[in-house]
Amino acid sequence: MAPKETSLVLGMVSLMLHFRWTWVGLFISEDHRGFQMLSDLREEMDKHRICVAFVEMIPVSTVSFFPKTWSKHHHIIKSSANVIILYGDSDFLEVLMNTLREILMTGKVWVMNSQWDVIRSHIHLILDSFHGQLIFSHHHGDISGFRNFIQSANPSKYPDDFYLVSLFLVFLNCSFSESQCGTYKKCPHNASLTWLPGNRFETAMSEESYNIYNAVYAVAHTLHEMLLHQIQMQTVGNGKWMVFSPSQLHPFMKSIQFNNPAGDQVTLDEKRKLEAEYDILNFWNFPEGLRHKVKVGKFSPYGLHGQQLSLHEDLIEWNSQTLENPHSVCSKSCGPGFRNSPQQGKAPCCFDCIPCPDNEISNGTDMDQCVKCPDHQYANRDKNHCLQKSVTFLDYEDPLGLALACIAVIFSVLTAAVLVVFMKHRDTPIVKANNRALTYILLISLTFCFLCPLLFIGRPSMATCILQQTTFGIVFTVVTSTVMAKTLTVILAFNVTSPGKRMRWLLVSRTPNYLIPICTLIQLTACGIWLGTSPPFIDTDTNSEHGHIIIVCNKGSVVAFYCILGYLIFLAFGSFTVAFLARNLPDTFNEAKFLTFSMLVFCSVWVTFLPVYHSTKGRIMVAVEVFSILASSAGILGFIFGPKCYIILLRPERNTLYGFRNKTHSMYNEGSES
């Protein structure tokens, strides 16, 4: 007679979702209905990612024989699940709860499918573990006249009703029977069960009584249908009625369908049964013995999606020490900025909270994955929101850019000043000794080398991106080829006294000077090929600096860039080798040693540049290249022209032909003595 319970599963899961209970224990009767309920409940819970903390199937045959120290209660006490589903018939639940209530468990929420009979429960505890339980009770209409019947019912009207007699004896301590007058007082003639307080006796019809009520009406309607059928099938002239056996009720009862006096549809055909609607009751037992059930909500499977469950949370009394809704989770929710990381070997609801990686966010709770921010955005500090990146570059307003620009300007001005000093003292021996034209070319090209970093600072454009690398490659080619020409000039000058005219002709014809245009032409050709195949272009770097989009110059062909840089290092290494071999030639103004040190510094800077350049990104990468340009240029300027400026400006007595001869004579004497 009970309605279909398919919607019970939906109602319980909806309740879990409403309160965000994701870690639930199950106590279910071990029978056909229990196994079906377990299967349906697990399936629906899995759909909504609600996990089962434990499952206990209780044999119905032994439920009445539970010992006082029940062995399975440790699952309830030890489990972190604060919500426990109890499923079974009213007798099963009554015995189970009377056993469980002896174990004090505060903070647990019990959700059950049926109203257990509080009248037959005689155990009173000040702290009741089942205070605050939620009950899914079948919703049904009120039966007209039922309350009046209860109010007027007493043993004098129904002397054979043992249950009714027991109620008066136990709760009113009186009897209508003369034989018991010695033990109990005589009940007044108008004694009624309505005298009992509501926590002792409920005048509302219970679920079981309502099902019995429908069963009686079902049999009555079935008999009525059978009689009508008999009248229709009765043969003419036969005045006798057929006597029916109970088995003949079944075909009629199976197809019976009617509306009872409460207006509810009743049918015994499982396929035609309607889904049940449920009233959600809250059991209050505080203060002790109150035992009052309050309707706090309703679940209707016919409601709109998301509106099937309605609750009045302000009416719910929880079995806990706080007024907040109880929580039942295996792991605390991971807030925004974190993601769930499942714990190995445990249920999906048990997880650890892992912070989102860099530039990834999660803006919800219990997110399985973090979402990467778009390239033009970045994750905020809490990693729960993507912010717009600001566009930046190595600017003159940037302290680093400003410092490099100032250094570049200072050194270019210093180089220009050295050029002025050398031009002013162009007729002195120290200036004339090593080819004045090459000296001027070297100083002018060094000035451009120091100015070259200014192309790297500021907002990149297509023009500056192309000029950066080509200017750098060509100007430094002029510098290194000039240094090599000066080195060869020194070597030819010291070998001009050797037999033969070939050395003198090479020196007089200024053959070393031709190295400059030849080497520069090779570099120009390489730059032309670079620009013609894969030239530099404006690019954006979104990953190097947090919260910034860096505008940089992409070199286009990386191979071409390293070919140009390798060519410069090759020229510098060649100059270093030649100068190193000529470092001990005896002469006051011999540049070989200074050229050796300058090329050693140049090679060291650019060899170190390669790994450092690869390990940096964004503005720092540009700054590293600018610093390498400045450091290598400063090394050439300092080692080659520093000693000469010292003599010209601070020791002018040594910058004369007389001083030159005295110095040379002393060097030869030292050589002969040794």
Q: pLDDT tens digits, residue range 343-391? A: 888 888 889 999 999 889 998 888 889 999 888 888 888 899 998 888 8
pLDDT in the model for residue 138: 86
pLDDT band at 474 (very low <50, low <70, confident <90, very high): very high
pLDDT in the model for residue 127: 44
User: Bridge partners of 282?
Assistant: 134, 294
More confidently predicted of 181 and 424 = 424
pLDDT in the model for residue 612: 87
pLDDT band at 444 (very low <50, low <70, confident <90, very high): very high
Alpha-carbon distances of 45 from 49, 184, 265, 342, rounded to whole Å: 6, 54, 30, 18
Tokens of 662: 């005295």
Neighbour-count burial of 98, counting CB atoms closer than 10 A to its CB (0-12 exposed, 13-18 middle, 19+ buried): middle
pLDDT in the model for residue 178: 63
Res 1 pLDDT > 60: yes
Phi-psi region of 196 (alpha: psi -120 to 50; beta: other; left: phi over 0): beta
List, in order, residues 6 or more apart from 334 with CB less than 8 Å away: 340, 351, 353, 354, 362, 365, 366, 367
pLDDT band at 309 (very low <50, low <70, confident <90, very high): very high
Q: What is the mean pLDDT of residues 551-577?
A: 87
Query: Which amino acid is present at 152?
Result: S
Q: How far apart are CA 477 and CA 471, in angstroms?
A: 10
Q: pLDDT tens digits, residue range 214-235? A: 899 988 888 888 888 777 766 5
> Where is mean pLDDT largest: 311-320, 415-424, 605-614?
415-424
Res 130 pLDDT > 60: yes
Q: What is the mean pLDDT of residues 312-329?
A: 81
Res 213 pLDDT > 80: yes
> Where is mean pLDDT largest: 52-66, 93-107, 262-276, 389-403?
389-403
pLDDT band at 508 (very low <50, low <70, confident <90, very high): very low
| Strand 377-379 with 278-284, pairing | unpaired
pLDDT band at 487 (very low <50, low <70, confident <90, very high): confident
- Does residue 25 contact residue 79 with C-beta atoms inside 8 Å? yes
> Where is mean pLDDT largest: 158-162, 232-236, 500-504, 623-627?
623-627
List, in order, residues 6 or more apart from 659 with CB less than 8 Å away: 653
More confidently predicted of 124 and 609 = 609
Q: How far apart are CA 162 and CA 32, in angstroms?
A: 33
List, in order, residues 6 or more apart from 161 with CB less than 8 Å away: 155
**Would the pTM of this model clear 0.75, i.e. be above it?**
no
Res 662 pLDDT > 80: no
Maximum Cα interatomic distance, the chain, rounded to a whole number of Å: 168
Query: Which amino acid is present at 634?
Result: A
Q: What is the mean pLDDT of residues 400-427?
A: 92
pLDDT in the model for residue 322: 62
Q: How far is CA 134 from the centre of its chain?
A: 36
- Residue showing tokens 């002025």: 420
Res 660 pLDDT > 50: no
Q: What is the mean pLDDT of residues 50-79?
A: 68
Identify the three-state secondary structure at position 561.
Answer: helix
pLDDT in the model for residue 257: 86
Cβ neighbours around 115 below 10 Å, total: 22
Identify the three-state secondary structure at position 137.
Answer: strand
Q: How far apart are CA 325 and CA 420, in angstroms?
A: 87
Mean pLDDT of the chain: 80
pLDDT in the model for residue 546: 75
pLDDT in the model for residue 140: 83
pLDDT in the model for residue 590: 59
More confidently predicted of 323 and 70 = 323
pLDDT in the model for residue 47: 92
pLDDT in the model for residue 670: 38
Res 187 pLDDT > 60: yes
Positive or negative torsion for Cα 439, 441, 443, 449: negative
Q: pLDDT tens digits, residue range 6-39? A: 889 999 999 999 999 999 999 888 888 889 999 9
Helix (H) / strand (E) containing 439: helix 436-451
pLDDT in the model for residue 128: 56
Res 506 pLDDT > 50: no
Q: What is the mean pLDDT of residues 618-642?
A: 89
pLDDT band at 62 (very low <50, low <70, confident <90, very high): low
pLDDT band at 297 (very low <50, low <70, confident <90, very high): very high
Q: What is the mean pLDDT of residues 50-72?
A: 68
Res 42 pLDDT > 70: yes
pLDDT in the model for residue 418: 93
